[in-house]
Amino acid sequence: MERVHAGEPAEEFVLETDRLGLRRLTLDDVDGLLEIFSDPEAMRYYPSTKERAEAEGWIRWCMRGYERDGFGMWAMVRRSDRRFLGNCGPILQPVEGELVPEIGYHVVRAEWGHGYATEAALAARDWLFRETTWDRVVSIVDPANTASRRVAERVHSTMRMFEWERAAGRQLCLYETRRGDGPR
């Protein structure tokens, strides 16, 4: 169950689920992101790992999304102990000639297998349809990334292969949900 939450001065969540809080990323989250971005296994389906300056750039990219679009990748925090688990949320991406909100997700490897990415991505999808006028949301996944594909299969209604503008001619999985699609 997802709840919109406001007003906590120390850590204002954009939304909450039973186990998670999602909030805007800040530069204080660099070390948490580096737990993912510097891990070769966690970054296996990215071109490379990232260093501190790149993690800071990622956060600034997300912050620009908050200001420009009203959303972006959010910090994923376990509510019970406030542990930084990763990030999840919608960010605008070019897909076949138009900008579309993509729900992305990254979880620190020590926390894989607990369903956090699915829980956060479902909440982000529902938030997007409830709080914005966007009628379509996607997730773009490398076909070999079976864990990420399992998450996307639980979040989205359809999947097809496509050639993403940012992937230099590679075929990727485009998972998609449109406003009004029934529950999965």
Sign of CA dihedral 50, 56, 59, 63: negative
Task: Give how far Cα 74 sits from Cα of 70, 96, 135, 169, Å.
Answer: 12, 25, 21, 29
Mean pLDDT across the chain, nearest whole number? 91
**Which CATH architecture is the domain 3-134 placed in?**
3-Layer(aba) Sandwich (3.40)
* Residue-range domain boundaries for the chain: 3-134
> What's this model's pTM, rounded to 2 decimal places?
0.90
Beta-carbon contacts of residue 157 (< 8 Å; ≥ 6 apart): 176, 177, 178, 181, 182, 184
Average pLDDT over residues 78-91: 96
pLDDT tens for 4-52 read: 433 333 469 999 999 999 999 999 999 999 999 999 999 999 888 999 9
The whole-angstrom separation of Cα 145 and Cα 96 is 22
Are the CB atoms for 143 and 149 separated by under 8 Å?
A: yes
User: What pLDDT score does 47 carry?
Assistant: 83
